[in-house]
Chain A
Amino acid sequence: MDTTQLLKGVLDVAVLAVIAKDDGYGYDVVRRLRAAGLDAVGDASVYGTLRRLYTAGALSTYVVPSDGGPNRKYYAMNAEGRAMLAEQRTNWTRFASTLTLLLDEPAQTTHLSSTNGDQS
């Protein structure tokens, strides 16, 4: 299965979850997502998602001057972001359990169909 396609649908909630743990700047969020196991996440996708969530009002930003480098724009959660995360967490849990159930069933179906196949 193409995990990049799967990732697209859940990137919002993943980014929100990372930032809910701690504020972060662009590449910092990418690094934490990759460290969590989402190796395939594209940095451009994360930057775009951060920007979109910020435009939607779910994130706030502040600039932190860094020594010896350019200023870093940090993203932080706000009330709207927390509400969005809570809602998406519920949705994900429901979706994941539904899909898990759905994926459990085909084992029997396969067994039945294989017997059907044997008969034909």
Chain B
Amino acid sequence: MTDATAPTQSDTSAIRDFAAAVRGQLNDLPADDVDDLTDGLEADLTEQAADAADSSPELGDPVAYAAELRAAADLPPRAEPGAGVKRESLVRRVGTRARSSRADAARSIRQSPAGAQLLDFLLVLRPLWWVLRGWAVYVVANIFFGGSFEVLPADPIRGIALLAFVTLSVQWGRGRWLPWHWLLGFRTLVSVCAVLALPWLLFIAAHEITAQNNVNASYDSYVTPGLVQNGEQVTNIFAYDAEGQPLPDVQLFDQDGQPLGVVEDPANTPYLSQYDSAGTEHILVPSLLVPGGSGWNVYPLGQVASQDVYPFDALAPLGEGEATPFPFAQVQPLVAAPEAGEATPSPTPTAEPTASATKVPAPTPASTDADAQQ
């Protein structure tokens, strides 16, 4: 070679080739390690070549050079791929690389106290991941073989399947039930698939559970306000005394001593709109005999004409409702107790008249209007 201090073109290309060969010898290591080791290798070699300009630069054997780098850096020697195990060595190399980069990551995380604590915390959560992995496999298998997405099994057979998957996953997580070496790779494959599938599965599951809860919630929250009989709203009550005569202004209370009202919020309800079977609107108002508009438990409720209410004027004297006509002028008077006691063994004779009596008086409502109005 020439004794020029600057490296010649052939030197530069030789150095580039040499550095590439060294990197090739290190390619089984994580990329970060290779970068750390060979960053600036060309520059260093070029400078060395310039220093040794008087003699011809000796680059030497890239394999030996790489081995020296490894040994000094405390990195494992290169696993030479044998003649017949080329295919396996690729898999093993990927595995080794994954393991070493995982170890590197763990080491770098553990360098900070917070990272170490986080890692310890996540390690405790590992069983949860095993269970989730089993569940994910079950759900995916169920989609393929059962054809439907189910968060939890619908029948005992599927329940057993879920239990089996979860048990297997947990055992694999504990390093058990792995009789063949290839199962380790299979476990990794399943884990990768589960990690990829879990966000979607959990998203769909959360969606389904929310939808189900909404159905339940809307079912639960749908409570008909006021009084209900057989699902129909009760808007007014008519009381008759023992003689079968109509009773105006009856105060009713429930089992807890609460006023029995037909509206949900008596204090803030000025009136109640009601349609009869003919479609005519009736406006019911609370009794004025109880001050403060809380006379909603005094029956029968009075009513006003709808034109008095619309357009609604808060100042209008809504209270002056007229008495609501009773449905029956009078009903069957109650029979005396001893007679009823005698009659109960043979219910037919007494039941018949009572039943008919309650229905018979219907045709005479008009005459009682006057009575009810006092």
Contacts and interface: CB of A to CB of B under 8 A. Distances in A.
Interface of A: 11, 25-27, 30-31, 42-49, 51-52, 54-55, 57, 66, 69-73
Nearest to A48: B72
A43 B43 contact: no
A46 B37 CA distance: 10
B142 to A, nearest CB: 47
B159 to A, nearest CB: 51
B74 interface: yes
A55 B111 CA distance: 11
B43 A72 contact: yes
A55 B68 CA distance: 17
Nearest to A42: B68
Q: Is the interface of A mostly helix, strand, loop or mixed?
A: helix
A12 to B, nearest CB: 10
Nearest to A69: B43
Nearest to B46: A69
A69 B42 CA distance: 10
Contact of A45 (B41, B48, B51, B68): B68
B342 interface: no
Nearest to A56: B74
Contacts of A72: 40, 43
A47 B43 contact: no
A54 B40 contact: no
Contact of A70 (B36, B43, B51): B43
B36 A51 contact: yes
A70 B42 contact: yes
Q: Lowest 7 A-B CB distances belong to which pairs?
A: A48-B72, A48-B73, A44-B68, A27-B44, A45-B72, A48-B69, A51-B73
A51 B70 CA distance: 10
B36 A54 contact: yes
Nearest to A34: B51
B-side interface size class: 20 to 34
B3 to A, nearest CB: 19
A70 B40 CA distance: 7
Given A31-B51, A43-B48, A52 B40 contact: no
Given A27-B47, A30-B48, A31-B51, A44 B40 contact: no
B149 interface: no
A26 B36 contact: no
A46 B72 contact: yes
Nearest to B36: A51
A19 to B, nearest CB: 15
A11 B72 CA distance: 9
A35 B360 CA distance: 129
B39 interface: yes
Nearest to B50: A27
Given A44-B72, A47-B41, 16 more contacts: A11-B72, A26-B40, A27-B47, A27-B48, A42-B68, A43-B44, A45-B72, A48-B37, A48-B68, A48-B70, A48-B71, A48-B72, A49-B73, A52-B72, A69-B43, A72-B43
Contacts of B73: 47-49, 51-52, 55
B44 A26 contact: yes
Interface in B21-65: 36-37, 39-45, 47-48, 51, 65
A30 to B, nearest CB: 7
Contacts of A44: 65-66, 68-69, 72
A27 B40 CA distance: 9
B37 to A, nearest CB: 5
Nearest to A46: B72
A11 B47 CA distance: 21
A49 B36 CA distance: 11
Contacts of A25: 40, 44
A57 B108 CA distance: 11
Contacts of A30: 44, 48
Contacts of A48: 37, 68-75
Contacts of A73: 39-40
A46 B36 CA distance: 13
A57 to B, nearest CB: 8
A49 B47 CA distance: 19
26 contacts: A25-B40, A26-B41, A27-B43, A27-B47, A30-B44, A31-B51, A43-B48, A45-B72, A48-B37, A48-B68, A48-B69, A48-B71, A48-B72, A48-B75, A49-B73, A51-B36, A52-B72, A55-B73, A57-B111, A66-B43, A69-B43, A70-B40, A70-B43, A72-B40, A73-B39, A73-B40
